[in-house]
Every structure is written in C-alpha cells, then in structure tokens.
Amino acid sequence: MDLGLIPTLIGVAVCGAIAAIGAWRGAQPPNPARGPRLIPWTLIAVVAAGIGVLFLVHIVNLAGFETGQGRGMGRGF
C-alpha cells in the first residue's frame, strides 16, 4: 500500500494538531485539587511531532527526492 499526497497531508495536519494540543495541555500548571495528571501530554506532543516529521519526509519522497541510503523502505533488504 502506498500513501498518496492527500492522505499524507492529512496525516501531517492531524499530527500537528495533536502535537499542538499536547504541548498546550502539558504546559498547564498542575492542579493538586483535581489530583495527579494521568496523561503524559508532553510525551504525546513529542511522539506526534516525530511522526509528523516522518510524514514530511514522505512528502519529500513523493516529490521525487530520494532519502536514505539509496533504496526505499519497500524494496527489501
């Protein structure tokens, strides 16, 4: 299965939104009255940003530029 340009752009947008929301929620001060924060928002933001970078590299590959060591991921070892 090959991701085209439109699904890749949607993936970049979704990852960007998740990263922005995670960074915003992670920057909020803790509220001891509500209890401990159980969702690691900073980790979610970092992981979403990393996946977004992979999507951007995929867009560069779709544009015709070769990244990596001369062979794509789908060509085997």
Domain ranges of the chain: 5-29+36-64
Given pLDDT bands bounded at 50, 70 and 90, which one contains residue 70? low
Residue 75's Cα: distance from chain center in Å? Answer: 24
Nearest to 68 by CA among 50, 54, 51, 52: 54
Cβ atoms within 10 Å, residue 68: 9
Which of 28-32, 44-48, 69-73 comes out lowest in average pLDDT? 69-73
Cβ atoms within 10 Å, residue 39: 10
pLDDT (average), residues 22-47 = 93
pTM of the complete model:
0.79
Given pLDDT bands bounded at 50, 70 and 90, which one contains residue 42? very high
Alpha-carbon gap, residue 63 to 77, rounded angstroms: 23
CA atoms within 13 A on the CB side of 68: 14
